[in-house]
Structure 1
C-alpha cells in the first residue's frame, strides 16, 4: 500500500537521557510524605520486621497506592516508578511490595486505617478540609468486584457473578470529581446488601477516619453535623439506631411496597410540591410530598420522616408495579427536623438525591484499582482495598490543595486527571547544586501543574 504522506515520520531510537514520563506522580508521593502517611504506616507495620528494612513499609505501600492512582490494577504496577529513580528515588521491587502487602494482616489492618486517619487530619489542616460549619455527608454503598480466578472467600454474587461484595463509605466533596474514601469493608461475594452489622462496622470506621474535631458529638447541638446517606439497603432499624447513637443524622432510601403505594393513591394532588434542582430552580416533572403521618414509623428513631417523590420517567425507562399512573415513585426516610435544610421537603429530597454521586465515586474507584482484587489470600486483598482507598485520597488531596481554583483539573475524572497531570512529560536537569524537573512547556496544563506543585509544598511548610 502506498503511503499518502499526510503523517510525518520521525526517526525513533531508545537513547534519550534525562527524560521522565509520568512526572506528575511526584506530586502524589510528596502529598503522601507531607501528610505523614508514610511515617504513620512505618509505625503501623514496624513490628512485622525482625530487623532493619531496606525499603520502609510506609514508602512501599504508598508507592503501590501511587501506582494504583496511575492506573495500575496489580502489584506489578509499582514497576512504573522503579526506573525513574532520578525523580522518585529508590523504589521497591514487585516482590518486596508483595511481601509488605502480605504483612498487613487482620491485626495490623486497624493500624493502617489509623495511619490514613492521621494523614487526613494533616491534609485538612493544610487546606484540604471541608467547611465544618456545613453538614458533612457520608455516602454508603456496596459494589461487586469480579474474581476471574480462585481466591480466598470469593463467592457467587447476587448478580450471578463470582467474586467479592465490598461495602464502601465516601465523604461527599462536590467541589472535586471524586469524594474522599473514608472506609471500606471487604466482604464475600454472597454478603447481603442490607446487612446491618456491616453498615454499622463501616459507619464506625468512617467516623474514626474523620479528624477528631470533625466527628459528631452526641447530644451537643453545636458539634459538627454529619449525615449518613444510603439507598434502601441501609434502611434497617439497627443501622438507623446506630446512627442516632453516634450523633449522625440519616437519609435512607425506603422500599416502595404495597403499603407505600396505597399511601401514594391517598395523597391529595395539592399536597405534592415541586422538586428542585441543585441551583434552586424547579425540577420539571417531579414532585415531593411528606407522608410521615400516614405510616407507622414507631419502630424507627424518634423524629423519623417519610418523604415520597414522583417523577415522569425518562424516555426508555422501565416502569414497575409500584409505579402509579405512569409516574416513577421513590421514597426515603430521614430524621432531619423541619427547617434545618433550606427548601423544606424539596430540599431534603434534593439532598438525598445527591447520594447518587456515590455511584460516580465507586466507578472512579474501579478505575483506580478496585476493579480487580489481584491477590489470592484474603488478608492481601483486604490490604489492597486499603491501598485503593489511599490512592483515591491522594488524588482528592492533590486536587483540593493544588487545583482548587482550576475547575478543569479539580473536576475532571480520574482518567482525565491521569492524562492531564500524572502523565505529564518532563526533563531532569542538574545545575547550581540543584535537580530541576522541567515540565514540557507545550503541555496545555504545564503552568497549572507547576503552580499546583508549589502550592502543595507551601501548604505543608
Structure 2
C-alpha cells in the first residue's frame, strides 16, 4: 500500500482482491477501518452456514456467470446470499456472492460441492453492478496469482565456497527480473504473445541469437530471418522505441 501514490492509498478507487486466505474477520475489519474504506473483493471459505444458505436460494435467483470475454459461460451461475446468513459481526455493507459451476471432466468433487456443482464464494463491499460483472472482476485476480507463480527465484544448485561467492543483492536482482517479466509483455507484446509464461519467453525471445552491427554511426542488432519468432522480437523492439521518454 505504501508504494501506491498518495491519493490512491485509501478510498473506493483502490480495489483489494484476494483468494479465500484473505477472507478473515481481522483482514476485512482492517480493509473497512474508518478513514480507509477501501473497495475489496475477497474469497470466502465455504462454511456450513454458507452451504446451508445456498440451499435456500430459489432457482430464479441464479443468473448466468460471464466468461473472460464478457459472454455467458455455459454451466455456471451466480447468486447473492447476503440476506440469508448472519452477518451482524461482519463489516457494514459487506455482500456475499456465490458461484456454482459444473466442474471440468475428471475433476474430483469436494465436500463443499452441491449436487455435483463446484461452489465458490466471495465477499465485496461494492454496492452497484451486476452480479456476473462483480464475480468476473473477482475471478480476474488469478492474473496476479500467475505473476506470483512465475516470479523468479534464486535457487543455486550448490553453494560456492565463501572466498569465491559473489555478494549481489539477490532480492534486488529478483525484483528487477520480476519487473521486467511483468512490464515487458504489457508494453512490447500483443495478442497471444502477451500471455506467454517465462519459460516460453526465455525459449523464444530471450535466447534468440543476434549479431551487433555498426552502420551509419549507429549500433544495430541483426537477427536471423530463420528464427521463427524474429518478427515478434523486432515488433517488440519497435513498440518499445516508439514509447515516450518517461524522464
Aligned counterpart, 2:162:
none
C-alpha RMSD of matched pairs (Å): 2.8
Aligned counterpart, 1:275:
65
Aligned counterpart, 1:90:
none
Q: Give, in angstroms, the shift of residue 235 of structure 1.
A: 0.9
| CA separation of 1:407 and 1:279: change in aligned 2, threshold 3 A | closer
Q: Supply the distance in 1 between the matched residues of 2:115 and 2:192 (Cα, whole angstroms).
A: 43
| CA separation of 1:330 and 1:364: change in aligned 2, threshold 3 A | same
Aligned counterpart, 1:401:
187
Which secondary structure does the structure 1 equivalent of 2:228 belong to? coil
Q: Give, in angstroms, the shift of residue 447 of structure 1.
A: 4.1
| 1:59-95 CA-partner distances (Å, limit 9, x unpaired) | xxxxxxxxxxxxxxxxxxxxxxxxxxxxxxxxxxxxx
Match status 1:250 vs 2:37: no
Query: Does the 8 A contact of 1:292 with 1:305 survive in 2?
Result: yes
Residue from 412, 419, 428 that aligns with 2:212? 428
Aligned counterpart, 1:167:
none
Aligned counterpart, 2:125:
335
Aligned counterpart, 1:288:
78
Per chain length, whose mean CA-contact separation is higher, i.e. which structure has more relative contact order (CA < 8 Å, sep 6+)?
Answer: 1
Residue from 186, 194, 197 that aligns with 1:413? 197
Match status 1:437 vs 2:221: yes
Say how many residue pairs are matched.
235
Aligned counterpart, 1:316:
106
Q: Supply the distance in 2 between the matched residues of 1:275 and 1:458 (Cα, whole angstroms).
A: 39
| 1:425-452 CA-partner distances (Å, limit 9, x unpaired) | 1112345544432222332333442343
Q: Give, in angstroms, the shift of residue 272 of structure 1.
A: 1.7
Aligned counterpart, 2:134:
348
Match status 1:210 vs 2:40: no
Query: Does the 8 A contact of 1:373 with 1:384 survive in 2?
Result: no
Q: Give, in angstroms, the shift of residue 458 of structure 1.
A: 4.3
Q: Supply the distance in 2 between the matched residues of 1:445 and 1:460 (Cα, whole angstroms).
A: 26
Q: Give, in angstroms, the shift of residue 337 of structure 1.
A: 0.8
In structure 2, the gaps of 5 or more residues are 160-168
Aligned counterpart, 1:200:
none
Equivalent positions of 1:126-275 (< 5 A) are 207-212=1-6, 215-218=8-11, 225-245=13-33, 246-275=36-65
| CA separation of 1:337 and 1:438: change in aligned 2, threshold 3 A | same
Match status 1:369 vs 2:156: no
Q: Supply the distance in 2 between the matched residues of 1:328 and 1:273 (Cα, whole angstroms).
A: 16
| CA separation of 1:454 and 1:350: change in aligned 2, threshold 3 A | closer
Q: Supply the distance in 2 between the matched residues of 1:329 and 1:442 (Cα, whole angstroms).
A: 49
In structure 1, the gaps of 5 or more residues are 1-206, 377-382
The alignment's TM-score, normalised by the length of structure 2, stands at 0.81
Residue from 284, 303, 306 that aligns with 2:96? 306
The alignment's TM-score, normalised by the length of structure 1, stands at 0.46
Query: Does the 8 A contact of 1:311 with 1:328 survive in 2?
Result: yes
Q: Give, in angstroms, the shift of residue 351 of structure 1.
A: 1.7
Which secondary structure does the structure 1 equivalent of 2:76 belong to? strand
Q: Give, in angstroms, the shift of residue 354 of structure 1.
A: 2.2
Which secondary structure does the structure 2 equivalent of 1:274 belong to? strand
Equivalent positions of 1:34-49 (< 5 A) are none
Query: Does the 8 A contact of 2:2 with 2:9 survive in 1?
Result: no
| 1:133-177 CA-partner distances (Å, limit 9, x unpaired) | xxxxxxxxxxxxxxxxxxxxxxxxxxxxxxxxxxxxxxxxxxxxx
